[in-house]
Chain A
């Protein structure tokens, strides 16, 4: 007979941010994410389908396909002076692109019912859409690269995680409709700003009070604080028969100027059979606001792991 003891984790599976822990080696995870909020007479919806794979015990990679009705094919008319962000108009639901994410756990301090873990992550996006706000999001809005660090501490039924990262968005080159209907569309280039993203997430296991079986459902409560600090957008226009020129930032509306915000996101999570995970959370304004959404935003997540022997 042999006995072994291990450390374990559960309430660090935050609905909207990543913990420093990885998914098991050789395991394929599937996650479906959906966000929606009401915008005047429109219901804005984002959906992401993510495949996750544990390459090694310390390295996980994710591939996410994103689609939403957040963008039109062209930038708004009179961009960037007006209609930014463009609210209440019909935007078609369309596929926006793929993004890749890799996370490497480089610090593991495990004890009985307690651990401190740290990981570094990197992400890259091939998304290319007519994003009409300054704040970038690699999963859905802009192409680019991102890097950051995650620290997660767990003790008994409580977990806390801090993430800090940087987003380096690429440029979008597209067109906007000329207000004069007889003139052609105006080529427009947008450089989204370098952005710092940050989050502080708390989780608590409320059920079961005592673990007896892997089949017991888990209920976790979460409260996450998420935000970004971003610079000014840069915009170049090439009107009909005129050379390209850059627009002064002082003419921009607030959504395209430097800013920051912190959202508060309370949530609840149900885990079945220690595998299937169902998240529900609500994103609310806390410090200033994000122009990339209206509040409240509702977030849903469904996740399941597939194991092979």
Chain B
């Protein structure tokens, strides 16, 4: 935990399943607000059926804007669902049309972080 900048880094075990919405909920339950949640993802670890969407461990991840790059080793994702990003940024991405539908019960929208 970087307390000076109020940033936390969670290192996951290989093949671990993480519910990002629960991570955000834990922060707000504690009385804080989430500024952003970023995740590093190695393409190919899950299934990618479309250029804007992939599935990993029965969860869909939909790119809110643009296409998923084909030739980078790691996708740096920033989640843009409500409660997982600051309200101003959420409003910016909220009204973007759906780009894909990977047909999962649980789905997250994200953009590629700078």
Contacts and interface: CB of A to CB of B under 8 A. Distances in A.
A159 to B, nearest CB: 14
A3 B1 CA distance: 9
28 contacts: A1-B10, A1-B11, A2-B18, A2-B23, A2-B38, A3-B8, A3-B9, A3-B10, A3-B38, A4-B23, A4-B34, A4-B37, A6-B6, A7-B32, A7-B35, A8-B6, A22-B31, A24-B30, A25-B31, A57-B29, A57-B31, A110-B86, A112-B5, A113-B6, A211-B4, A212-B3, A212-B4, A214-B3
B93 interface: no
A284 B30 CA distance: 35
The 9 closest A-B pairs by CB, nearest first: A211-B3, A110-B33, A5-B35, A25-B29, A2-B39, A6-B32, A24-B30, A4-B37, A5-B7
A24 B31 contact: yes
B7 A210 contact: no
B50 interface: no
A115 B32 CA distance: 10
Given A4-B8, A5-B6, A214 B40 contact: no
Contacts, number: 90
Nearest to B39: A2
Report the contact-size class of chain B (Cβ under 8 Å from the partner).
Answer: 20 to 34
Contacts of B4: 210-212
Given A5-B34, A6-B32, 16 more contacts: A1-B12, A2-B18, A2-B38, A3-B10, A4-B37, A5-B35, A5-B36, A6-B7, A6-B33, A7-B6, A8-B6, A8-B32, A24-B31, A25-B30, A54-B31, A110-B33
A95 to B, nearest CB: 32
B39 A1 contact: yes
Contacts of B34: 4-6
A112 B28 CA distance: 15
Contacts of B28: 57
A113 B9 CA distance: 18
A23 B31 contact: yes
Nearest to A5: B35
Contacts of A110: 32-33, 35, 86
A98 B23 CA distance: 37
Given A212-B4, A213-B3, A214-B1, A2 B10 contact: yes
